[in-house]
Structure 1
Amino acid sequence: MSKKTQSWAVPLIAVLLGMLLGAILMLAFGYDPYWAYVDLFNTAFGSVKNIGEILRAMGPLILIALGFSVASKAGFFNVGLPGQALAGWTASVWFALSFPDLPRFVSIICTVLVGLIAGGIAGAIPGILRAYLGTSEVIVTIMMNYIILYSANAIVRDGFPDSFMRSSEATNKVSEAASYQLGWFDGSRFNIGFFLALIAVALIWFMMKKTTTGYEITAVGLNPHAAEYAGMSSKRVIVMSMIISGALAGLGGTVEGLGTFENAYVQTSSLSIGWDGMAVALLASNSPIGIPFAALLYGVLSIGKTGMIGVPSEVIDVVSALIIFFVGANYIIKYYLQPRKKAVKGGKN
């Protein structure tokens, strides 16, 4: 099987194996996997509103997954996506509440820029430390998640003016002009984040495949020393790739904040969309074209699991984890997809 065929066959097989093991798990605990999966897909696609919710869920996942893929192409494991997304969420809501009377088009443009900048700054910090001090981006981004989480919570509790607050731990909803929701799909929370995500897919694909910037990011990711020898500045590329990665995650958080919840509130833990976006990128093998399809699967699972009668929703979370496990262990799948050489009988003549 060619590498091009493996690029889509391996994730597909990983999905099937994950669902198969999920079915075995359900049987082990006394649940009927057939009807569980029937309920899941009937719920996901059984109403116009739920279809809108699936598309709504895809927006931030695609944006955050794109951010992870850019960092991965540069050779870095950006684990700071939840914090970068939360930075964009908090900053964009602050702007929307501060300027509620802006025309909708202007407000959307401004909040998109604010989310990009906030996420970009959050991504730049570990990028600079990695480029100039040689620190591990994994450790720094993990710590940045906690720094941003507790800082954002402090801002919500004590930083916002009292006029912005609905309670001690949640802000008012943003004005209609600042909201990303469109009211389509039978009143679902579908919003413009879906379209922003598709635009981002096209831009990142073009950047990585057709521009010098994309070539430099890929070259540094493959071999930073060879890239330096060829005249590229690996430090500049490292910082730039982390800024782009953080900016995309920040925009994903903006979409979640202004498109799904329409406010900011105290978070009890790191944003789950950050981790899910990372999983989406891994499932798509960091391909910008594959990311929307992986996000669609995650959207279907997240919306559909609410209708699995009698089956704990955590089972689907386990299925999602198993899918990522098989993607991560794709060498096992590739081993069985590779053609086998036939043994030569009779030895030499």
Structure 2
Amino acid sequence: MLRFITNEKNHKFIVPILSVLFGFIAGAIIMIITGIDPLEGYDAMIKGIFGNLRKFGEWIVASIPLILTGLAVAFGFRTGLFNIGVEGQLIVGSFAAVAVGILLNLPKFIHLPLALLAAGIAGGIWGFIPGFLKARFKVHEVVVTIMLNYTALHLVNYLIKLIPGSTNTETVKILPSADLGSDFLSRITGNSRLHWGVIIALLAAIIFWYIIERTAFGYELRSVGFNPDASKYAGMKVERNIIYSMMISGVFAGFAGAMISIGTFDYGRVIGGFEGYGMDGIAVALLGNNSAFGVVIAGLLFGGLKASSNAMSLASVPKEIGDIIMALVVLFTAMNYGVKKLLLRLRKEEK
């Protein structure tokens, strides 16, 4: 068993697992220091996820946007870009889906796909802006995307209030024909808010994997991110591929917005600040090692930590403990070089 763990070929998935384990151990130490029984804390966490069918459904609901934002960040990472603007792309995608869901009255087989398409296009357009500025004028994408996050937040808050029937805090409900909700999924999960977005998130992960790992287009995107000069010398269109990378990343984020606005909820919301999906997406991508399968697993893990926060509070465990564990997991993930060195040392001692 130790030989399997210390084998360098297995580090790709062993290191993230150890990062999670170390994060939970560190979380237990913090609970002990603050006078909380870690066994009770983790028992409450598990019951908050698997305690009944409804909690299980809410766990999946919390994980869906995290998987999609994780894919958005991971796509940027795999192509040499740091898309820190996922939050803004999610916000504009959310608004686009709601706007189509309220303002158009179409049959469901047209209306729902159109709302999702609008969300993806809106996120893609928001991703196009930093991609174009980087490709054309060498403006760093981190600076532009941070600024666009705030632009998206305040612009969408303004536009929501212009939709007929909206109040200062929310829109009217979207039409049922644009709703991702599912009576079937809700019924089999104890009347949770589980919706068809779970299928979209899994399909998005498959598309991510196929583009990156199985297409010449994906190879070009990765090549440009790894070495733009060599790629240009090889005849690849570097500027175009930078723009495409940011747009595709934005599309994933736009879909994440739709999962919230026409999935978890059925109306648009005026929000006072960022809800953290973009930052959580970075954590999910890092823990998932920027791979499609890894992002899905990491999204489910972080979704579980978020979904179980209320159950932990009821058990007198501060819900912030879940956020602390998430931060610790990311910290140990970022320290993957140190974890690898530890494994290599164990391997030498084994010999």
Q: 1:260 aligns with which of 255, 264, 268?
A: 264
1:280 counterpart = 2:268: no
Q: Does 1:46 align with 2:44?
A: no
Structure 2 residue 116 is matched with structure 1 residue 120: no
Deviations 1:143-177 (CA, angstroms, capped at 9, x unpaired): 000011010111123x222x3x2x22211121222
Compute the displacement of 1:62 (Å).
1.3
Instruction: Indicate conservation of the 8 Å contact 1:88/1:251, yes or no.
Output: yes
Note if 1:319 corresponds to 2:325. Answer: yes
Q: CA deviation at 1:2?
A: 4.0
Aligned-partner residue type, residue 83 of structure 1: G
Query: Where does residue 140 of structure 2 map in the other structure?
Result: 136
Maintained 8 Å contact 1:84/1:250: yes
Q: Tell me, what secondary structure is at the counterpart of 1:177?
A: helix
Letter of the 2:343 partner, please give it.
L
- C-alpha distance in 2, partners of 1:54/1:3? 33
Q: 1:24-63, aligned counterparts within 5 Å?
A: 24-63=29-68
TM (norm. structure 2) is 0.93
Matched residues in 2 for 1:273 and 1:262: separation? 19
Q: Does 1:329 align with 2:332?
A: no
CA contact (8 A) 2:169 2:271 kept: no
Contact 2:63–2:304 under 8 Å retained in 1: no
Q: Secondary structure at the match of 1:180?
A: coil
Tell which deviates more after alignment, 120-129 or 268-277: 268-277
**Structure 1 position 294, deviation (Å):** 0.7
CA distances 1:257-291 after superposition (whole Å, capped 9, x unpaired): 11011111111112322221221111101011111
Specify the code of the residue in structure 2 equivalent to 1:30: G
Cα distance in 1 for partners of 2:109, 2:290 equals: 32
2: CA distance between counterparts of 1:195 and 1:286?
20
Partner Cα distance (2:220, 2:122) in 1: 24
Contact persistence 1:83–1:271 (CA under 8 A): no
- Would you identify which runs of 4 or more consecutive aligned residues in structure 1 move more than 4 Å? 339-342
Residue 92 (structure 1) aligned to one of 76, 80, 97: 97
Q: Which amino acid aligns with 2:21?
A: L
Q: Secondary structure at the match of 2:308?
A: helix
Normalised by the length of structure 1, the TM-score is 0.94
SS of match in other structure, 2:83: coil
Which residue of the other structure, out of 132, 152, 163, is the alignment partner of 1:160?
163
Aligned equivalents of 2:260 and 2:338: distance in 1? 36
Give the equivalent residue in structure 2 for 1:180.
180
Deviation at 1:298, TM superposition (A): 1.0
Report the AA paired with residue 174 of structure 1: I
- CA deviation after TM superposition for structure 1 residue 7, in Å: 1.0
Are 1:170 and 2:170 matched, yes or no?
yes
Matches within 5 A, 1:216-227: 216-227=220-231
Between stretches 140-149 and 294-303, larger displacement belongs to 294-303
User: Which runs of 5 or more residues in structure 2 are unaligned?
Assistant: 1-5
The Cα of 1:137 is off from its aligned counterpart by: 0.5
User: Match of 1:91, as an amino acid?
Assistant: A
Q: Distance in 1 between matches of 2:217 and 2:7?
A: 28
Kindly report which structure 2 residues correspond to 1:218-237, keeping only aligned pairs within 5 A, or say none: 218-237=222-241
What is the aligned counterpart of 2:197 among 177, 180, 193?
A: 193
**Structure 1 or 2: more helix by fraction:** 2
**C-alpha contact (below 8 Å) 2:131/2:246 kept by paired residues:** yes
How far residue 104 of structure 1 moved from its aligned partner, in angstroms, is 1.7
In structure 2, how many angstroms separate the alpha carbons of the residues matched to 1:146 and 1:3? 43
Distance 1:3 1:71 in 2: 26
Q: Structure 1: which 5+ runs fail to align?
A: 343-349
Query: Residue 65 of structure 1 corresponds to which residue in structure 2?
Result: 70
Letter in 2 for 1:168: N
Give yes or no for contact 1:67–1:249 (8 Å, CA) kept in 2. Answer: yes
- Which residue matches 2:87? 82
Look up the match of 1:210: 214
Preserved contact between residue 116 and residue 258 of structure 2 (Cα < 8 Å): yes
Deviates more, 1:309-318 or 1:169-178: 169-178
Distance apart, 1:77 and its partner CA? 0.7
CA contact (8 A) 2:168 2:270 kept: no
C-alpha RMSD over aligned residues: 1.4
SS state of the match for residue 200, structure 1? helix
In the aligned structure 2, how far is the partner of 1:2 from the partner of 1:254? 42
Question: How far has the Cα of 1:253 moved from its partner?
Answer: 0.5
Given residue 84 of structure 2, which amino acid in structure 1 is its aligned partner? V
Partner of residue 299 from structure 1, selected from 300, 303, 306: 303
Note the C-alpha offset of 1:4.
3.7
Do the aligned residues in 2 keep the contact of 1:86 with 1:271 (CA within 8 Å)?
A: no
Using the TM superposition, give the Cα deviation of residue 220 of structure 1 relative to its aligned residue in structure 2, in angstroms: 1.1
Q: How many residues align?
A: 338
Structure 2: how far apart are the matches of 1:194 and 1:57? 10
